[in-house]
């Protein structure tokens, strides 16, 4: 069963074989978690949302329409993150004031951790849409076409938006140095 494609597994899940979701979970939970961690900068919130993503994937399994599974699961993750972001916004707590709880890896040099910190600060200064595109494309390695499917756009538009977002990120980064 582990030789089946993501799409074949999800078809089995949508037809009622829920055990196959464990294989998809093993394949995707770290990617989804890392995507959400970059978006929320909160390990606990990212874990909660990741759990909710897979819960909703099972709950709404019949809505899967035999497209690319990764696009479908990332769309669920984006929607749940967006709901979370909106609920935080409605609590009058701007994104800049949310306490960030990132465990930093031990690095060989202080300079490397400072660069990473400055880059994360610059990433945090981007608007949600730009940050999401940069994370999906540059951190997650998702291709423009797939991001287009996830966001309901075209590959050309996504490529342009990512390019512009990278320039904004560079500007924010240079302002912080």
Domain, as residue range, for 52: 1-103
Residue 122 · residue 94 · CB < 8 Å: no
Residue 85 · residue 98 · CB < 8 Å: no
Give the domain-ending residue among 87, 103, 119. Answer: 103
**In a shared domain, residues 83 and 14:** yes
Q: How many CB atoms lie within 10 A of CB 95?
A: 15
Give the domain-ending residue among 56, 86, 103. Answer: 103
Phi, psi of 35, rounded to the nearest 5 degrees: -60, -50
* CA separation for the pair 76, 128 (Å, rounded): 16
CATH of the domain at 132: 1.10.10.10
**In a shared domain, residues 94 and 8:** yes
Q: Residue 6: its pLDDT value, please?
A: 95
Give the mean model confidence (pLDDT) for residues 72-89.
87
**In a shared domain, residues 98 and 117:** no
CATH of the domain at 89: 1.10.1740.10
Max Cα-Cα span within the chain: 54
* CA separation for the pair 35, 37 (Å, rounded): 6
Q: What is the pLDDT of residues 112-128, one digit of tens each?
A: 677 778 888 888 899 99
Whether 110 has a pLDDT exceeding 80, the answer reads: no
**In a shared domain, residues 69 and 26:** yes
Name the residue among 36, 56, 32 with its Cα closest to residue 44.
36
Residue whose structure tokens are 């759990």: 51
pTM above 0.85, yes or no: no
Higher pLDDT, 106 or 170: 170
**In a shared domain, residues 21 and 88:** yes
């Amino acid at each position: 069963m582990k030789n089946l494609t993501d799409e074949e597994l999800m078809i089995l899940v949508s037809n009622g074989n829920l055990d196959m979701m464990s294989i998809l979970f093993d394949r995707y939970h770290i990617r989804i978690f890392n995507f959400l961690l970059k978006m929320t900068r909160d390990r606990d919130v990212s874990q909660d949302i990741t759990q909710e993503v897979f819960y909703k994937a099972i709950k709404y399994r019949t809505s899967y329409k035999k497209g690319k599974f990764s696009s479908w699961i990332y769309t669920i993750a984006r929607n749940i993150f967006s709901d979370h972001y909106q609920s935080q916004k409605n609590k009058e707590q701007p994104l800049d004031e949310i306490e960030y709880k990132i465990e930093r890896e031990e690095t060989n040099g202080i300079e490397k951790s400072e660069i990473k910190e400055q880059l994360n600060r610059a990433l945090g200064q981007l608007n949600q849409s730009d940050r999401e595109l940069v994370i999906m494309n540059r951190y997650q390695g998702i291709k423009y076409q797939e991001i287009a499917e996830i966001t309901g756009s075209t590959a050309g538009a996504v490529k342009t938006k990512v390019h512009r977002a990278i320039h904004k990120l560079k500007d924010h980064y240079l302002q912080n140095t």
